[in-house]
Amino acid sequence: MADRGAAEFHPSHDLELVARAAAGDLAGGEVMGARALVASCATCAELERDLHAIAGATRGLGNAAAVSASRPAPRDFRLSAADADRLRPRGWLRVWRVLAEPRRARGFGGALATLGLVGLLVSTGIAAPFDGADGAASEMTGATKDVVSAAPGVGPASTDDAAALPANPTSSTTIGAREYSNSNVAAAPMLAIASGAMLILGSALLLVSWRSRRVGS
């Protein structure tokens, strides 16, 4: 039986614990703690009873299905032709809606995200080796210059002569590699941008698919 004398300690009691006990949402040691509290404090015991009564009364308010059977909505919510026209998706939004349909979104999203990821990897793969080749070529060109300037009778001032020297195999390879790498390095950012866009679009579609699955809509 609740002890009236314990009521003076009531302000320090955990009322949410009592609310959880009233709702049957306690587990383990909390049940014992709540029982002890309700048994020792008359105010907590009364609170528990009141919370039971309030929950019961709230359930008795009648759910929407019951209430709506006798209480019509205050206005008519039917859509006019103008509403429908305004709400129908157009242009890119229409394309997005078609793509974002849950069943399609998963497939399209997965494919686009994968393609985007592969494209990004390829684009960084293209740029990286040729960055290295370019650097190596620069080093080699520097080394050639050193050799040329160190050669007796060949002055560093005669650049035209140096250019007119018999084709140096190292130099031609360097120039060829640089031209090739330049064209690929120029293509890499475009591929990276396109791949990034595909990755973002694919991820967005996957997110839409995941969200609609979660909401169950």
Binding site for Zn ion (CB under 5 A): 10, 13, 41, 43-44
Q: Does 107 bind other proteins (CB under 8 A)?
A: no
Q: Does 20 bind other proteins (CB under 8 A)?
A: yes
Closest distance to other proteins from the beta carbon of 10 (Å): 14
Classify 152 as helix, strand or coil.
coil
- 126, two tokens: 């293209």
Q: Does 19 bind other proteins (CB under 8 A)?
A: yes
Number of helices followed by number of strands (H, E) in the chain: 9, 0
CA-to-CA distance for 120 and 126, rounded, in angstroms? 10
Q: Does 67 bind other proteins (CB under 8 A)?
A: yes
Q: Does 90 bind other proteins (CB under 8 A)?
A: no
Measured from the CB atom, is 100 or 148 closer to other proteins? 100
Measured from the CB atom, is 14 or 101 closer to Zn ion? 14
Write out the DSSP string of 88-145.
S--HHHHHHHHHTSHHHHHHHHHHHHHHHHHHHHHHHHHHHHHHHHHHHHHHHHHHHH
Cα–Cα nearest to 30, from 46, 45, 14, 51: 14
Q: Does 24 bind other proteins (CB under 8 A)?
A: no
Interface residues with other proteins (CB under 8 A) are: 15-16, 19-20, 22-23, 25, 47, 49-51, 53-55, 57-79, 81, 83-84, 87, 89, 97-98, 100-103, 212-217
